[in-house]
Amino acid sequence: MKRISSFTIAMTLLCGSVSAWAADYKVQTRYPITGQDGWDYISVDSGARRIYVSHGVRVNVLDADTGAQVGTIEDTPGVHGIAIAGKLKHGFTSNGKEDKVTMFDTGTLSAIKKIDVGKGPDGIYFNGETQRVFTNNHKSHDITAIDAATGNVVGTVNVGGDGEGAASSKSGLVYVALEDKNEIAVFDAKTLEVKQHFPLESIKAPTGLAFDEKNNRIFVGGHNKTMAVLDAATGKQIMTLPTGSGTDAAGFDAKDSLIFFSNGEGNLTVIQQKSADEYVALDSVTTQSGAKTMAFDKKTGKIFLPTATVNVTPAADPSQKPKKTIVDGTFCVLVVSK
Q: What's the chain's Rg over C-alpha atoms?
A: 20
**Residue 244 structural domain:** 41-306
Q: Check residue 244 and give left, alpha or beta (phi > 0: left; psi -120 to 50: alpha).
A: beta
Percent of the chain clearing pLDDT 70 (strictly above): 93
In a domain, 36, yes or no: no
Digit-coded pLDDT (tens) for 111-146: 999 999 999 999 999 999 999 999 999 999 999 999
Instruction: Tell me the CA distances in angstroms from 251 to 10, 80, 101, 210, 247, one per residue in order.
Output: 29, 18, 24, 5, 12
Domain-located, residue 6? no
Q: How confident is the model at residue 3 (pLDDT cuts 50, 70, 90)?
A: very low
Closest residue by Cα to residue 279 from 234, 243, 229, 224: 229
277 in any annotated domain: yes
pLDDT in tens, 173-226: 999 999 999 999 999 999 999 999 999 999 999 999 999 999 999 999 999 999
Is 247 within 8 Å of 232 (Cβ atoms)? no
Which of the four pLDDT bands, split at 50, 70 and 90, describes residue 324? confident
Q: How far apart are CA 311 and CA 288, in angstroms?
A: 14
> Does residue 333 belong to any structural domain of this protein?
no
CATH of the domain at 48: 2.130.10.10
Span 161-177, pLDDT tens digits: 999 999 999 999 999 99
Three-state DSSP state, 12: helix
Ramachandran category for residue 221: left, alpha or beta (phi over 0 → left; psi -120 to 50 → alpha): beta
pLDDT at 13 > cutoff 50: no
Please report, for the chain, how many H helices and E strands are present, in that order: 1, 31
Q: Is residue 146 part of a domain?
A: yes
| 206 CB-near residues (< 8 Å, 6+ apart) | 164, 165, 177, 178, 179, 182, 183, 184, 200, 220, 221, 222
pLDDT of residue 19: 44
pLDDT in tens, 72-98: 999 999 999 999 999 999 999 999 999
327 DSSP 8-state letter: P
The confidence score (pLDDT) of residue 98 equals: 97
The pTM assigned to this predicted structure is 0.91
Q: What is the pLDDT of residue 133?
A: 98
Count CA atoms closer than 13 A to 114's CA, side-chain side.
Answer: 13
